[in-house]
Structure 1
Amino acid sequence: MEWSRERRLANVLSLLFCGVLAGVVLAAVAFPVVGATGWTAKSASDSFRNLPTEIRIPPLPAASTLLAGDGRTVLATFFEENRRSVPLKDVAPVMRQAMVAAEDLRFYEHHGVDAKGILRALVRNQASGEVTQGASTLTQQYVRSVLKYSATNENQLRAATEETAARKLREIRYAVALEEGLSKNQILENYLNITYFGNGGYGIHTASWVYFGKKPSQLTLPEAAMIAGLAQDPTRYNPVENKRYGTRPALERRSYVLRQMVKMKYLTPAQADAAEKAPLTLNPQSNVQGCQYSRVSFGFFCGWFVDWWKANPSFGLAKAERLAALKRGGYRIVSSIDVRMQKAAQKQVDRGPSAYSRFATGIVMAQPGTGRVLAMAINRKYGITKNPGGKTYPYTENPLLSGSTVSPGYQAGSTFKMFTMLAALQRGIPLSHTLYAPRQFVSQYVGGCRFGRYYCPRNASGSMTGAHTMSSGFGESANTYFIQLQQETSVKAAVAAAQSAGVVFRGSKDLQNIKWAKKSDQAWGSFTLGTAQVTPLDMANAYATVAARGKYCRPTPVRSITDQGGRLLPVGNPSCRRAFSPQVADAASDAARCPVGDSTLSGVSCTHPGGGATATSVGGAIDRPIAGKTGTTDNNNAGWFVGYTPNLAAASFIANPDKYYDTVPNSQLPIQIVRETFETALRAMPVKQFVPAPRRLSWGTMLVVPDVKGETTDGAIYRLRAAGFNVSINYQAEDSDQPAGRVSRTEPPAGSYISKGSSIRINVSNGKKSPRDPRIEQLCKLEPKLPICAIKPGEPGFPAAPGRP
């Protein structure tokens, strides 16, 4: 209490002293030829009394740091001024002492203004006829820096830095007021954090780093004395960048600071001599910022983070304002990247084509239920380094994993069948929904082929031909099944499902097709076969939506964002919404177990007779519930695999980013990348089970297929429709024991149990009985009870003679 009264009294006396001194002395200190300025003692005193006493201390521009998810690994920094404020307790005592000794010997004695210093400066300035000493205290210097950083226009900046008596008066007035509200240590802390020490060292934390590669708490006496000496003229005394005189000016200035420290009794003469003889052991550190200088394997993730930040209105109204906030705001950003998963992903990617290959391959891993991206790896180098021979690789800043209008992605092939399946399930069509998938199908969509003006896709293999459930069609990737399913649901509904799941369409042609599909049921038939351009980020997050039981979460590169004041910003939280019902997502996941070689929980078949799954190595290697889907485009121009468990999703691809019609060397590589990355990534994650789908979405209403063999086609169609089925006809007549023009058989066969609304294929007889293979005929004479002998002509599995259907 006594100290507080003494300090207030001292401040009052200082204020009175300054008011008097302002009119008589100050103008002479700043401008010896005071008459020429038109100033008088009275006008200076009046101006001083009329000045405001409160100074607004703005937050300092500070570097933002992007960290990995562990909160320790630095991925990149962003700054205009590389500064990180630190509390005084984290600054070595010798550094604090050296700073005071270098700039203000009576710092702990005066109350913002040093009267002795002003009088001394007056005498010397008048003697020399010019300004040789300014008599600014450390507090006044801090005030000057604050005014400079507070300036919002050129006039304010000029007023804060120009050599005028008005500026001096303002500094003195604010300095006195400042010392009423802040302790000496608070002022010293602020001064150390705001001062520029050269070489890109804004504030004591960065200065310690760029000169000596250490924290300010670790500075030795010779190091502290050198840094303190830089404050007066950071260009002249800079020992790293002074090309003309080298380190000599810094050493001379260091000696001066050490002698001043002796004056203040911080050091003995012997200690100062020893420090003065110490070599200048510089350890300069790079002072770079941005994603180009990110840790090697994190560059593309860092680039996506910046794009995410610039697109986020939480950080400003326009992109330029948001980027400025990142570079000035001093944010501590803990990213979503899992260092262990990133390392595993990059290792697998690096086993494929090199960075110097024209083919890009990569993987993105996302967390279902949060949208956090855990890994982003690619066989490219992030940066603007010039590529050899005018090529676009290995160096690039294009968002090859996250996408843009310039880099919209790659055709994803059959991975898009997931969205047609989701659209069908939303309409209540169950997984047991049965359709006959021919080798080639003439669809309702526009797009010419040898059958005329209609789009007529083929299956990749003849072994896929036959009656499929939705699960088996997905497991074997039967194109002609999914084209028919898309006709039942509409392209418009499949596109909507993809967008709900999180797919972003950026390609101009795709956007045109979306508009077309909204107007016509004959538009964009190839959608379900994955002819749209998408990115691994899109696909990983879309399948993560299914893994999260239909909860879509916007993909995010962050776990948390903290501002300079330590406030946790809500923008770092997941942003989620309901995209599909949990039951629809569960049913889709059940079918997605089929491609990896697992069985459905519901018991709906994963393959049809003679067919096989497309990625069985995944289910064989991962000893936990897993799902996924392969994808290849025509002529193997791109290869994909998207895999997921209930708590991790990943999408991998291989393609030529510059030429979409270029056959990739190994379209199966993405399966390997996801499989082997998962083997490492999942070890530290708990085993989670998929949730069984409800019966209505697994089986629907099961009905028996009537026996219409031998009936006319019209009669058969009537009976089958009346029984609750749709009907298709194979107009290519086949050998059968039925009269010509009559139904020879159905697929599925009579007596089968399939879901209501499924399609029954009618086959028509040509009236020619198909002879049995003579070898089988002979066998059946010897063993008539063999099952094969009971199969009649026209029925599935009938052993026809060679060359006969």
Structure 2
Amino acid sequence: MLSTPGFSSELRLTSDDRPTLAASPMARERTAARGGKANAKAGGTKQGGAKASNARGTTSSAAGGRGGGRGSSGGGRRRKRCGTFGRLIYWGFVLGIWAVLGVAGLIAYEASQLPPIQNLAIPERPPTVIIQGTDGKTIATRGEMGGASVPLRALPPYLPQAFVAIEDRRFYSHFGLDPLGLARAMFVNLTTGRLREGGSTLTQQLAKNLFLTQERTISRKIQELILSIWLEAKYSKNQILELYVNRVYFGAGAYGVEAAAQRYFGKSARQITLSEAAMLAGLVKSPSSLAPTRNLEGAQARAGVVLAAMQDAGFISAEMEQAALARPATLATGRGPDSAGYAADWIMEQLKAAIGPIEHDVVVQTTLDPALQLAADKALKDTLAKNGKKYGVEQGAIVLMDTNGGVRALVGGKSYEESQFNRAVTAKRQPGSSFKPFVYLTALERGLTPETIREDAPIKLKGWKPENFSHEYRGPVELKTALALSLNTVAVRLALEVGPDEVIKTAHRLGITSKLEPNASIALGTSEVSVLEMVGAYAPFANGGVGVTPHVIERVRDASGKVIYAYDTPSRGMVMAPPHVAMMNRMLQETLITGTARRADLPGWPAAGKTGTSQDYRDAWFVGYTGRYVAGVWLGNDDSSPTKKAGGSGLPVAIWSEVMRAAHKDQPVVALPGAGNYTPGTVPSGEVPDEPVVTGGPQAPADKKPATLDNWLLDKLFGRG
């Protein structure tokens, strides 16, 4: 190896040769230690020189310390700040990694709670039931979605654009999650101090509607995000948008644009205008509070916001926006009454019994007449609005039926939107004196006649003292008069005479299905029944004695038009002999001529019926009929509280008259069966009563007393002849 004279062949740097700005105390200590070791090896011969050197070094250090003290201190502070910042970066990086791992683990866990991705599929749209009236027009839709699905290409282009503009402006550019929209929503919520925006994309909303519940939790939000990304990967944007508009809720029970368009505008979604499209898009933010059926002004104001968003997004021009604002969307004027909801609910119950589980879309053709449904709804609403407070009446129910049992109108309350409880079908109330025809029919079937005499006098039964409404008594009266004037004492005597059990058998034979209590008070209608039952049980009086089954479904078709069910009138046969039909019609007709229903107004039509008022005026009834229709009206309160003396002869008769006038308009007059063929004072030939015939009345021999119940009982007990 080459060497140069005067230089060592091994070049090394000592700590003294390394440049430094300011040595740290620890570095100085390490240098001093190494210097001490080197001096020890050098031997004692060099101690004097070392001391001199150390002395100079000490002097230099002291001088250096005085001159460079401030500079060394400032450098230490800078290094301290740099060290703190570095540690913050380090730990921030570490925590970030753990946060990512934690989020990833949480996402993995929530994903594990979902079905395997390869097994995921869009749930089948629940079947829709379209309910049509006798005119073929839709009166209601039922099912979870409530309307048919409409392809996106069949809709006006501004309809889906309205949803994109107001709900998800970057729908066509994001991957299911919109970071900008989410950040904006967080900023708005933080600055306003309340939750005003959600930041969910249309895809996220669809994922929630299809697969998840409506609860607001972090878990559900993460699952929503996972599913929205899956939807974006599997389906095109237009497919996602089509699914969305056909599944979203629009309020008032309408799911999907078709159901909403029919519900609010009375037309298909294919035909709606720009202003109507804007209103529909605006509803999804708050469908319950913005539904135009309850908040039209709010829905119109929200539609204006949507139109502005559409113009800002470039979907419509400023001129189109102004034109739409000038003609805001309104509810369809020809929209059916909300009371059709009561009938639709009952139809759904009947439908399950008719065709079983509903697995596909079906169209139900019914016996309901939309015009008569509207007339019945109006009659009840107007009467309660005008006189309800005066008489302390809050609710009512109406059933209108043809003589074959087909229900033409059914109103289960004054407002379906306020209460879906069906007072025409489900509610059971005391019918009062409107139940008496079953008592009188039972008596006629045992040989009595309308002219038979019975005593109208006070009666006491084990502490019970039934009284007449007027608290007056007429003494011996004919049955037809007793029924027309609704004399309670005569009805109770008749029930005891024929037996309460026999009265119940008669009522059930004619169509009452509720349980009836076999006691003397059955004559006064103390057992509870429904309006539908009563109307059905009166139908044999109107049709000549044939038992009917109240029904509302005529036929059911599937989506292809194939008939899968048709009502086949189940004949219940004759439930009443024609002679008894004739006698009952004569007696019940008298109720409208001279009796408690004199206010009934049906010009030109022979009609009959019976009023009813329960104890303490809790229920007010009138059930009446012609040879073409039977109608029943009930008024009262849901809690069975007493009304302010609302009796059957008042408001119920007035409502009945209005409904029946609408039903009989332009109809040819039909006579009541047998009403003009009965000869007073005779017993129908061929009839063999179960009990001894009790005759009397004007044809009784002059030397005998009228055959009152009291005299008849004495004859039976003591053999008096």
State the TM bucket, normalised to the shorter chain.
Answer: 0.5 to 0.7
Contact 1:366–1:375 (CA<8 Å) still a contact in 2? yes
- The aligned amino acid for 1:343 is A
User: Unpaired runs of 5+ in structure 1?
Assistant: 1-34, 40-50, 108-113, 122-140, 235-239, 259-271, 288-293, 385-395, 450-454, 506-510, 518-523, 600-611, 704-720, 729-742, 750-757, 763-805
Tell me the C-alpha RMSD between the 2 structures.
6.9
Q: 1:447 to 1:280 in 2, by over 3 A?
A: same
Cα distance between partner residues in 1 of 2:416 and 2:162: 43
The Cα shift of 1:249 comes to: 9.4
Q: Of 399, 422, 435, which residue of structure 2 is paired with 1:365?
A: 399
Q: 1:202 to 1:689 in 2, by over 3 A?
A: closer
Contact 1:364–1:652 (CA<8 Å) still a contact in 2? yes
Q: Of 103, 106, 125, which residue of structure 2 is paired with 1:60?
A: 125
The Cα shift of 1:314 comes to: 4.7
Q: Of 589, 611, 632, which residue of structure 2 is paired with 1:651?
A: 632
User: What is residue 587 of structure 1 aligned with on the other side?
Assistant: 580
Contact 2:376–2:411 (CA<8 Å) still a contact in 1? no
- The aligned amino acid for 1:594 is M
Q: Deviations over 1:712-734 (max 9, x none)?
A: xxxxxxxxx9xx65599xxxxxx
User: What is residue 91 of structure 1 aligned with on the other side?
Assistant: 155
Contact 1:338–1:375 (CA<8 Å) still a contact in 2? no
Q: Of 607, 615, 620, which residue of structure 2 is paired with 1:626?
A: 607
- The aligned amino acid for 2:389 is Y
Q: 1:534 to 1:635 in 2, by over 3 A?
A: same
User: Unpaired runs of 5+ in structure 2?
Assistant: 1-99, 105-115, 178-201, 288-296, 716-721
Cα distance between partner residues in 2 of 1:761 and 1:436: 16
- The aligned amino acid for 1:687 is V
The Cα shift of 1:416 comes to: 1.5
Q: 1:614 to 1:160 in 2, by over 3 A?
A: same
Cα distance between partner residues in 1 of 2:572 and 2:580: 14
Q: 1:60 to 1:203 in 2, by over 3 A?
A: same
Cα distance between partner residues in 2 of 1:52 and 1:641: 62
The Cα shift of 1:440 comes to: 1.8
Cα distance between partner residues in 2 of 1:500 and 1:474: 21
User: What is residue 465 of structure 1 aligned with on the other side?
Assistant: 476
Contact 2:617–2:642 (CA<8 Å) still a contact in 1? no
Cα distance between partner residues in 2 of 1:364 and 1:229: 37
Scaled by the length of structure 1, what TM-score is found? 0.50
Do structure 1's residue 682 and structure 2's residue 686 form an aligned pair? no
Q: Of 371, 380, 388, which residue of structure 2 is paired with 1:355?
A: 388
Do structure 1's residue 302 and structure 2's residue 311 form an aligned pair? no
Q: Of 522, 547, 562, which residue of structure 2 is paired with 1:527?
A: 522
Contact 1:547–1:649 (CA<8 Å) still a contact in 2? yes
Contact 1:457–1:479 (CA<8 Å) still a contact in 2? yes
Do structure 1's residue 374 and structure 2's residue 409 form an aligned pair? yes
Contact 1:546–1:586 (CA<8 Å) still a contact in 2? no
Contact 1:550–1:582 (CA<8 Å) still a contact in 2? yes
Cα distance between partner residues in 1 of 2:550 and 2:603: 27
The Cα shift of 1:527 comes to: 1.2
User: What is residue 55 of structure 2 aligned with on the other side?
Assistant: none
Contact 1:541–1:555 (CA<8 Å) still a contact in 2? no
Q: Deviations over 1:378-431 (max 9, x none)?
A: 7x56665xxxxxxxxxxx766555453xxx424422x21221234456xx5245
Paired residues for 1:104-503 under 5 Å: 149=210, 193=246, 203=256, 205=258, 216-218=269-271, 281=325, 298-299=338-339, 302-303=341-342, 305-306=344-345, 309=348, 314=353, 336=368, 338-340=370-372, 342-343=374-375, 346-347=378-379, 350=382, 354-360=387-393, 362=396, 364-367=398-401, 368-376=403-411, 384=418, 399-404=422-427, 408-413=428-433, 415-424=434-443, 428-430=445-447, 432=449, 435-440=452-457, 442=459, 446-449=462-465, 462-463=473-474, 465-466=476-477, 468=478, 474-475=483-484, 477=486, 479-503=488-512
Paired residues for 1:1-80 under 5 Å: 58-60=123-125, 70-72=135-137
The Cα shift of 1:644 comes to: 0.7
Q: 1:634 to 1:613 in 2, by over 3 A?
A: farther
The Cα shift of 1:642 comes to: 1.8
The Cα shift of 1:531 comes to: 2.9
The Cα shift of 1:499 comes to: 3.5
Q: Deviations over 1:320-349 (max 9, x none)?
A: xx9xx99x9897786725424642674487
Paired residues for 1:398-797 under 5 Å: 399-404=422-427, 408-413=428-433, 415-424=434-443, 428-430=445-447, 432=449, 435-440=452-457, 442=459, 446-449=462-465, 462-463=473-474, 465-466=476-477, 468=478, 474-475=483-484, 477=486, 479-503=488-512, 505=514, 514=516, 517=518, 524-548=519-543, 549-554=545-550, 556=552, 570=565, 581-584=574-577, 587-588=580-581, 590-597=583-590, 613-614=594-595, 617=598, 621-632=602-613, 639-653=620-634, 658-660=640-642, 663-664=645-646, 667-692=649-674, 699-700=684-685, 745-747=703-705
The Cα shift of 1:681 comes to: 2.1
> SS where residue 551 of structure 1 aligns?
coil
More strand by share: 1
The Cα shift of 1:645 comes to: 1.7
Contact 2:246–2:255 (CA<8 Å) still a contact in 1? yes
Q: Deviations over 1:545-596 (max 9, x none)?
A: 543433232365x6666677767674xx668655562543762354223232
Contact 2:405–2:536 (CA<8 Å) still a contact in 1? no
Q: 1:68 to 1:298 in 2, by over 3 A?
A: farther
Q: 1:576 to 1:419 in 2, by over 3 A?
A: farther
Q: 1:458 to 1:417 in 2, by over 3 A?
A: same
The Cα shift of 1:88 comes to: 5.6
Contact 2:159–2:274 (CA<8 Å) still a contact in 1? yes
Cα distance between partner residues in 2 of 1:670 and 1:98: 49
Cα distance between partner residues in 2 of 1:485 and 1:304: 38
Q: Deviations over 1:494-547 (max 9, x none)?
A: 123324434455xxxxx6xx45x3xxxxxx212112233445444223212543
Cα distance between partner residues in 2 of 1:643 and 1:625: 11
Q: Deviations over 1:648-683 (max 9, x none)?
A: 111235556643486347844434443454233212
Cα distance between partner residues in 2 of 1:541 and 1:248: 53
> SS where residue 355 of structure 1 aligns?
helix
Cα distance between partner residues in 2 of 1:672 and 1:169: 62
Cα distance between partner residues in 2 of 1:210 and 1:581: 43
Contact 1:309–1:315 (CA<8 Å) still a contact in 2? no
Q: Deviations over 1:716-761 (max 9, x none)?
A: xxxxx9xx65599xxxxxxxxxxxxxx9821459xxxxxxxx9699
- The aligned amino acid for 1:540 is V
Q: 1:683 to 1:277 in 2, by over 3 A?
A: closer
The Cα shift of 1:196 comes to: 8.5
- Total equivalences in the alignment: 561
Contact 1:436–1:481 (CA<8 Å) still a contact in 2? no
Query: Which of 1 and 2 has greater Rg?
Result: 2
Cα distance between partner residues in 1 of 2:658 and 2:206: 56
- The aligned amino acid for 1:359 is G
- The aligned amino acid for 1:436 is I
